[in-house]
Structure 1
Amino acid sequence: MPRKYRPFHETARGELHVLRERAVLAGLLRRGDARGYEEPLSEMRSLVGTAGADIVGEVIQKKDRPNPARFFGRGKVEEIADLVKEMRADVVIVDNDLSPAQVRSLEEALKVKVIDRSELILDIFATHAKTRQAKLQVELAQLEYSQPRLKKMWTHLSRLAGAGGGGDPGIGLRGPGETQLETDRRIVNKRIADLKKKISKISERKKREVQTREKDFTIALVGYTNAGKSTLFNSLTGADVKVDDKLFATLDTRTRLWDIGRNYRVLLSDTVGFIRNLPHHLVASFNATLEEVSQANLLLHVVDGSRTDPSRLIEAVKSVLGEIGCAGKPNVLLANKIDLLPDPVELRYLQENYGDCIPISAKSGEGIDRLAGTITGHIDQRYQELVLAIHAGLGKLISFVEERANILERSYEGDSVVLKVLIETRHAERLRRNPDVEVIIP
């Protein structure tokens, strides 16, 4: 039996999810758009697949400037409408960000729900949010996205008011719609304020938690979504973090100990993946989760080395890092998935343009020893190994050392405590200048 076509008036605009819906993809390519170097809708297909919709058609328009009213030109809108009817689609998903007015105009023309790129990403984040922190952050981002669109959601009230003809809505129809809109705005604004308070508390707690790791060398994995960060995380730490060939499989930061040898304590964090044109409000909402990135001593920037457009992915990640204030943080670029390269010569572009790039395969282990050696070099620059003798009665001074150093050995000689420590250079220099500390091995 053929699938029954569902008219738009039967589809609630509030249903922003696309799970199991039939979707037509549409995108607008502008002159000089970086996506011209790849199949234009390839990333959108992955996003839609992750969201769970079934793709039944695709439309691309090449245009210097979008139409201010409907984003696409009149002819292209008619083409999309015909495809929607032919394929009995439930939703049109646009690989661009649309204004509230453009969404409404397209929905009126196409008679189906229209979702833009930001809305789709929010839907995926909402599906993958598991912890309380992630759920709060996604809800905040969704509300901030919906806030300027509330008026458009209430246009059915104005149509209802005008049903009797004439410009004046008439007695009994002037107040309720506007009152309800203002009520909704107040509810949304209050909920946004409440969420920001809750997330702020989580962020402060997270910041204190991260700051207690001062004696450890902390590393955060960053990179474009689906670059293989979780696979690398599992390989380096022996963890069993779920690995999916889907976008945004990881939303919550996980931290584990990486045994790199030489008495070094290295804490490695797996973080949420980035993506091109990641909605700004989503980045802001996830600041608590990204605290691991901002506080890390070093970033491992993982890029899918098997892709044909790695520089575009690298620049997208750098853009997000800039938004969260981490643009100048020390980092090491890793070209992952080299086991999928048919010809190693394809690495030449990355190595020529990013000289310190390390080719690795998280799956096969190739290049991991070189990576570990590079990390050890970074740690060597930051830490010193010292043997200190401190009078046993100087409890505060001993506590200072214990809180900031890894104690490798402890012994007692007369009235002194002898500590063999691994400590940051800045603290080591402070101890060298302290007359109550005897540095036995400089």
Structure 2
Amino acid sequence: LGIFHRHARTREARLQVEIARLAYLAPRLRESGGGGDRVRGGVGGKGAGESSLELDRRRIRDRIAELRRELATIEGTSQTRRGRRSELPTVALVGYTNAGKSSWMRALTGSEIYVADKLFATLDTTVRVLTPRTEPPILVSDTVGFIKKLPHDLVASFRSTLEEATEADLVIHVVDASDVAHPEHMRVTREVLGELGADQTAWIVFNKIDKVDDDGRASLALELPDALQLSAKVPDDVARLHERIVAFFLGELEDAELLVPWDRHRVVHEIHERCRVLSEAHEEDGTRVTVRAASSILAGLRAQLA
């Protein structure tokens, strides 16, 4: 809890940590001295026959309820943002804490997000665009790291943060190949994902492969033949993963021809923002555009043009 508290950067993360801290504290409260005496009651303080311990626990319950209401408001806003992004292809980076997810995030998106060799350096989900950019853009999210015996209250508190992984089209499970405990780390990550209900396509990336000798690499290949052995610090490896991600989503895109009437020409701007334009020609009835995009985006555009 202390580690989580130190690395919480947004209001949402701080609320999640505080709820988990109070939920941990409540059942562990003890009476101090003669504080167990019961009182007859009062206004705004102790209820009739309520001990100091019961009062403290009630205050904690009330505070948790207050924090959860505030968190629900923030999560509603986050859900709205996720809803707007849901039409775009999304990749979620998951894995045991300190596996190198944030390093991959920076390598794949060019973003200068916080990267550190620490436990839980990332608590809040960060979403960036894959670069070099594609049309439509591919979003990449970096989630909180997992850890063995993560308290259930923390999993529950961070559920909204971790849901980025459940809603992604592709999950990339980053594993620190240089850590001898990586099989256990993989098991823990899979357990948490299972608890969240994440069941979509998942790739295994053995990260930090530059720290593993030839025998170790051969052993990893036997362990998981389909896993990628890469390092976020090697440019060729970054390009290799980028190409695989793009190829994965290009297979899910489709080509379409759209005729945009002159009176709805504003849609052409949206097409250029959200699709890869293959050709464009001005005709008597409007602009005819051939595009490549996700089927959900095409459905939305067709609805506007109907």
TM-score by length of 1: 0.60
Shift of 1:204: 1.8
1 CA distance for matches of 2:222 and 2:295?
34
2 CA distance for matches of 1:149 and 1:429?
54
- Bigger mean CA offset, 404-413 vs 253-262: 404-413
2:206 to 330, 335, 341: 335
1:263–1:429 distance in 2 versus 1, CA, 3 Å = closer
Matched, 1:322 2:201: no
1:238-277 paired onto structure 2 within 5 Å: 238-260=110-132, 263-277=135-149
The alignment partner of 2:291 has SS state of strand
- Higher-Rg structure is 1
* Counterpart in the other structure of 2:288: 418
2 CA distance for matches of 1:403 and 1:322?
38
* Counterpart in the other structure of 1:144: 23
Structure 2: runs of 5+ lacking an equivalent? 40-45
Structure 1: runs of 5+ lacking an equivalent? 1-121, 162-168, 438-442
Measured against aligned partners, the alpha-carbon deviations of 1:223-261 in whole angstroms (never above 9, x if no partner) come to 100011111111121111222111111112222211245
2 CA distance for matches of 1:422 and 1:189?
52
2 CA distance for matches of 1:407 and 1:215?
15
Shift of 1:352: 2.5
1 CA distance for matches of 2:24 and 2:260?
58
- Equivalent AA in structure 2 for residue 383 of structure 1: L
2 CA distance for matches of 1:259 and 1:386?
24
The alignment partner of 1:329 has SS state of coil
* Counterpart in the other structure of 1:131: 10
1:213-224 paired onto structure 2 within 5 Å: 213-224=85-96
Shift of 1:358: 0.6
The alignment partner of 2:25 has SS state of helix
* Counterpart in the other structure of 1:65: none
1:179-190 paired onto structure 2 within 5 Å: 179-190=51-62
* Counterpart in the other structure of 2:258: 388
- Equivalent AA in structure 2 for residue 270 of structure 1: D
* Counterpart in the other structure of 2:42: none
TM-score by length of 2: 0.85
The alignment partner of 1:289 has SS state of helix
1:174–1:200 distance in 2 versus 1, CA, 3 Å = closer
- Equivalent AA in structure 1 for residue 77 of structure 2: R
- Equivalent AA in structure 2 for residue 275 of structure 1: I
* Counterpart in the other structure of 1:233: 105
* Counterpart in the other structure of 1:288: 160
Shift of 1:220: 1.3
1 CA distance for matches of 2:80 and 2:133?
27
1:428–1:239 distance in 2 versus 1, CA, 3 Å = closer
Give the number of equivalent residue pairs: 295
1:348 to 218, 221, 238: 218
1:402–1:195 distance in 2 versus 1, CA, 3 Å = farther
Measured against aligned partners, the alpha-carbon deviations of 1:2-29 in whole angstroms (never above 9, x if no partner) come to xxxxxxxxxxxxxxxxxxxxxxxxxxxx
Shift of 1:390: 4.0
2 CA distance for matches of 1:332 and 1:188?
42
2 CA distance for matches of 1:201 and 1:307?
40
* Counterpart in the other structure of 1:70: none
1 CA distance for matches of 2:26 and 2:272?
46
2 CA distance for matches of 1:359 and 1:366?
12
1 CA distance for matches of 2:83 and 2:255?
22
1:364–1:413 distance in 2 versus 1, CA, 3 Å = same
1:3-18 paired onto structure 2 within 5 Å: none
- Equivalent AA in structure 2 for residue 377 of structure 1: A
1:182–1:261 distance in 2 versus 1, CA, 3 Å = closer
1:75-90 paired onto structure 2 within 5 Å: none
Shift of 1:206: 0.9
RMSD across aligned positions (CA): 2.9
1:370 to 240, 246, 266: 240
The alignment partner of 2:68 has SS state of helix
1:245–1:314 distance in 2 versus 1, CA, 3 Å = same
Residue pair 2:89, 2:249 contacting (<8 A) in 1 also: yes
2 CA distance for matches of 1:130 and 1:255?
15
- Equivalent AA in structure 1 for residue 23 of structure 2: E
The alignment partner of 2:161 has SS state of coil
